[in-house]
């Protein structure tokens, strides 16, 4: 391939009711004055990427592959009942990939000093071999940091730190987190341990409990155990947690967010000084920040009237936090990228490999502890 070209992943929802993922060849971009040209060497597949890459409406059972090499195309049908939600993106060839890591190859006149630096980037369209972004989108890493280490320096680390800021801003003192054995969950365990914040971790498997406890987690509950509610209530009484972050949107047949609220209510009533017909006066909040479980969220309102269930997104929260605190968060991530905010990956895949059925179906499962890293220059 010419040095003046760049390959990238594209996703398109067609008017015929299919989603197609392909490899496009485009002209290598040239940086403007305040931009840098990054040779992207690694980019993770996060759950937030899948919403654009394959969408929540794709029927994976219909997956078929045509072509090979750079001409590989993965095609899936859209569930007919969900086509209406796809209308805003019909027949648009869309770039994919929220974040990544790479080396600055060229730069605009005002930022030439960054050439050769390893950076983490949250610029969108990161499943690309080369990407031009504003310098403000880059997190400059220490010289001993690799692009693979820098690849996941935005979504998970900043989400974890923003959880903590949400807790402080909303006057809570401890946190509950689900899917706690994930890369994000492990980061949160480390941050809460370092910052002396009580954390209740919810997982689905006994081996995940053991892993988190070996990391120093104090409270770990298995939602698959028959004693789950009893264990959760005990952990909430001990920790005082009244703020939960749920990555599933459902879990336990859609009941998990409601179970957390119910357990918080029971824990609050254990220390209540007087009876109230409206339930405890302790405010309880659960935020859904992911959709790992596509089942409906079921609420059996057994937690009084002082509660809230809402959605949580990183970028709006950063707007609330403010740029000064956000910059401090970014600096902490860069400093601790090899320790607190280190990510582990199940497999490194090329563009062609990420379109293969056996690989695509695995990362589409969003299984806890199974994270894939896209390597754009891998042949």
- Take residue 98 and report the two structure tokens written for it: 């929220």
Q: Which residues contact 98 (CB under 8 A, 6 or more apart)?
A: 46, 48, 49, 122, 124, 126, 154, 155
Kindly report which listed range (80-89, 92-101, 118-127, 189-198) carries the lowest average pLDDT score.
Answer: 80-89
- Residues near 231 by beta carbon (within 8 Å), at least 6 away in sequence: 221, 222, 225
Q: Taking 70 as the threshold, does the pLDDT of residue 99 lie above it?
A: yes
What six digits make up the tokens of 59?
A: 């029927």
Nearest alpha carbon to residue 155 among 26, 18, 51: 51
Task: Give the class (CATH, top level) of 5-152+344-374.
Answer: alpha beta
In the chain, CATH 3.40.50.720 covers 156-319
pTM for the full model?
0.90
Superfamily grouping for domain 156-319: NAD(P)-binding Rossmann-like Domain (3.40.50.720)
Q: Please, which pLDDT band fits residue 271 given cuts at 50, 70 and 90?
A: confident
CATH 3.90.180.10 intervals, the chain: 5-152+344-374
Q: What is the mean pLDDT of residues 356-373?
A: 91
Q: What is the CA radius of gyration of the chain?
A: 22
The C-alpha atoms of residue 272 and residue 279 are separated, in whole angstroms, by 10
What separation, in Å, do the N-terminal and C-terminal C-alpha atoms of the chain show?
12
By C-alpha distance, which of 257, 236, 235, 255 is closest to 246? 257
Whether residue 270 contacts residue 239, with contact meaning beta carbons closer than 8 Å, is answered with: no
How far is the CA of 203 from the CAs of 48, 121, 200, 247, 300, in angstroms?
20, 30, 10, 11, 22
Give tens-digit pLDDT for 8-31. Answer: 999 999 999 999 999 999 999 999
pLDDT band per the 50, 70, 90 thresholds, residue 273: low
């Amino acid at each position: 391939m010419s040095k003046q070209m760049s390959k990238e992943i594209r996703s398109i929802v067609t008017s015929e009711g299919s989603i197609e993922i392909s490899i496009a060849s485009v002209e290598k971009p040239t940086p403007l004055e305040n931009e840098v040209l990054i040779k992207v060497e690694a980019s993770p597949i996060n759950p937030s990427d899948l919403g654009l890459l394959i969408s929540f409406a794709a029927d994976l059972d219909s997956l078929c592959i045509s072509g090979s090499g750079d001409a590989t195309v993965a095609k899936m049908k859209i569930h007919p009942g969900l086509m209406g939600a796809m209308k805003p993106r019909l027949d648009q060839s869309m770039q994919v990939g929220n974040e990544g890591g790479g080396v600055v190859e060229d730069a605009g006149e005002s930022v030439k000093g960054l050439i050769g630096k390893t950076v983490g980037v949250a610029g969108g369209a990161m499943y690309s071999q080369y990407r031009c972004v504003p310098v403000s989108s880059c997190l400059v890493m220490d010289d001993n940091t690799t692009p693979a280490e820098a690849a996941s320096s935005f979504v998970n680390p900043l989400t974890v730190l923003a959880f903590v800021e949400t807790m402080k801003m909303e006057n809570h003192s401890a946190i509950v987190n689900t899917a706690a054995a994930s890369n994000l969950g492990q980061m949160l365990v480390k941050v809460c341990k370092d910052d002396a914040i009580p954390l209740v971790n919810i997982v689905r498997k006994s081996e995940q409990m053991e892993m988190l406890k070996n990391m120093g987690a104090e409270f770990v509950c298995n939602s698959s155990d028959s004693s789950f509610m009893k264990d959760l209530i005990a952990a909430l009484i001990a920790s005082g947690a009244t703020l939960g972050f749920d990555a599933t949107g459902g879990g336990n047949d859609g009941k998990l967010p409601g179970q957390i609220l119910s357990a918080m209510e029971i824990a609050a009533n254990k220390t209540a000084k007087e009876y109230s017909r409206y339930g405890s006066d302790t405010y309880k909040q659960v935020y859904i920040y992911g959709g790992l479980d596509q089942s409906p969220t079921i609420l059996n309102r057994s937690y009084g009237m002082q509660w809230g269930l809402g959605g949580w997104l990183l970028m709006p929260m950063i707007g609330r936090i403010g740029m000064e605190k956000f910059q401090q968060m970014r600096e902490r991530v860069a400093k601790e990228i090899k320790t607190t905010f280190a990510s582990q990956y199940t497999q490194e895949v090329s563009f062609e490999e990420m379109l293969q059925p056996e690989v695509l179906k695995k990362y589409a499962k969003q299984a806890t502890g199974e994270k894939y890293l896209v390597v754009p220059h891998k042949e």
